Structure 1
């Protein structure tokens, strides 16, 4: 039939030229769209795994904090403290103490071993292990110089008769009342202990290689269905050991065969990694390629048949489609195609418009995810404390202090309780100025008890504190900096003055200390924080921990007030002033 239609040379030439031009247009537009879609789809998948790996890292943080809390509870246990005294425990007491550790609030404990400072060993059956066996196991060497810190380490089990390496949780146990030599407490954890962080994220293990490496690059556990998981773990370690810091140290870094995400847990120095192979990144592109191929085949078939009858009619809409597709710059999504020929060209235009709409929706979803991550990051900064646990613990300590008549301890607990309640404020980010001043007053009272005669404070509020609202916990870090750095060389006679006034530009808060003046270089760097783009604030002090409190304050102020808030330091002959100027409309109720 086609041969019958192609009877004249002019028709043949027109068809060949039409097919050539159409082929070039489709090739160019397809390459542009394909490149753009591939880039955006790859970035979307990478961002998904970065977010999932960060969730796993945060879960690992939670496991460490839980183990640290359990260790702290064990140290504070009365019988444990008695075992560190000079007097030996009775046999009954030793037996009870050895059984106590079997009921700690920590899941998946396989074995435990506690050694007091008199070389007594407490185990399931405390006489089964000797001090020499514990000493020769090398567990004590893993604690190193960790004076009062919980240590995680991956080690061969030479103490409990195991045949495989295992995760150990250890800590020195020190007396709370006497300067005696410390004891040691070790928990050997079963494999499901670390498996807890992967629960609910089975998609990670099905599409990628996820695992945990210790500080020396040994694989503590691997979650994968690939046979080359161990080889990938070694390759991952070569990349991870080049980085420093903690939390998200690698966010979608391109490596051989895929991309790599890694989260280093600060205290244990263990790293959760997710390696996403290229096959996962490009898996969705195959369907896109098939759809584009089908569309282009339909276009070519229609062009062969219909160009013979409707050459003049189709020239204009074909050119419109070609111009729209080749002119797409990846930003202007309003340049859609509108053709009405009652042919397949209409479908091509509609498919192109639908594809633009999907790309625009994908970009908007990515932006929304980034916004949610920023909000989540701010909430994470404010929600690191379990309030019910703290309140119950403080109440218990307060009653014990009251029973023993320890007035100073009672005062400190009352101040700390007020401080925590105001700090948490039921999860709200904004509090009244009255609550914020009460919060910092409790904080300073605690330090006055701890450092008698070091300083006194004054609070001068010239506005109605009940009608002014501020971001909570902005004064406490400023006062903490004054105590830590301003009074570093002072032992008495310090002064901290907090003054709140209403200015034409807004509410001005000034925190003054009469300690050592801030060095000029540090002041210039801190004053420059407010001028940095939002994404660069956290990178201002990458080499030191100093400045983290200021970065926290500046980040939260910028999240709430944007560019309108101002904050700066000024020094004088004796002392330093820190000013915070809040926008008037945002601060008033």
Structure 2
């Protein structure tokens, strides 16, 4: 009875403390939301449109730079410079220059006009613009007193006679060789030119009005979404407002104005300002949505907290005790004692994770034992291959001297290559050699094969790493070259080619062997590449017939035992042959510190 009463008291205290903490948390969070969420949400929404407005402003700057570069190219054009000279241009060159401006690297050009310092006008063939028209248009005043700067100005088209408002680009054209009166160049731009600025941010124009204002407060471009309600359009005095607020600054960061929030970015070079106007309705919609979500979260948290507090206070004690006893009693040998729970909570996941961990530990122990057996076998094979190497060297030297006495050049080459190959293969018992020794080893092997198979193949070796100070596992290239000769060149009698390259990428060493013989079979290639993801203990079972895979299995097994799972061996069939790649991971001691 005491035990039951004590448990009930703990549960009641747990529920009482939980309710108190939950109520306090809800109260404090409610006060915090009331004080901060409106300002924060307003700031987040405004920041979004400030960023997009700044993007449009930067686009405007880039467009001005583009026009400045284009007009500069026009000034440097040979015929333009010639037109400023005393002699002027011939009729043919005059016509050619008029057509030149139609093909400049500038889009959305509606019309153009160039007048040199002698009053000659160059324009489209169908445009009837005279020197008097240019003077009467008053466009020269927009160029100002600057020596030669590109100018943008928004005005009525009194030059080409359309009388509509448009953006014009103008610049003085001066001779590079003589001090003469300048010419003038004017481009009339289509509406699509400025629309490129607003089109870069389609998300912006779904909820905000955007536009462009010149330095005099004229509205050059204005766009409001279709979902704007009556009275939410751009304010009528937006131009004057932008000019007034941007007198001494370049960026206006989301300032509250009548009916909404205004953001502006002014481009000093072009004199135009890009603005975005977000109505109050958009801001309030976001805030209302946030408040509704918060209310729903509060109600859901309260309900869930009450239910879970009651449920877990009753159900957690026993499953946790089972987990604790099972884990503490595990002695490292008995992998059969697992956890079986059915609480339908996260504790079930803990139990399954523990059971899975036991299986992984058991599997890893089995793999370690298998790898130790493989390593012992490899060490034994290495020891066997090193039995009395000096006797073999002395014997080969004796045969070499006899062949030299008898003038047998081919035999001498064969014995010399074989001697080098064996010396490097044994490497005084070491399984790590320099790249230089490994390449010398495979070069000796290929020379032997060239003697055996005259005119069958040629070879090239390209080493892009430090061959003396870079060390790798030995005897990993020879089996690949052997397969190239045995299987790649089995259908040819001459003209074969083997290319070996060593390179370093992203800290890893890559050894590539390419042959132009018969491409590797797709099934064999897939099996070899799949071996890279298999445990070392399973590699020996990949090729049951041992016909094509013994050398590959040997290479990959030794690589994985030495370098771990980061090492790999891959084959790729190509139209003109096969390329095999060995990957040795970086950071495993490839560099020779001696």
TM-score of the pair, normalised by structure 1: 0.45
Normalising by structure 2, what TM-score?
Answer: 0.45
Larger Rg: 2
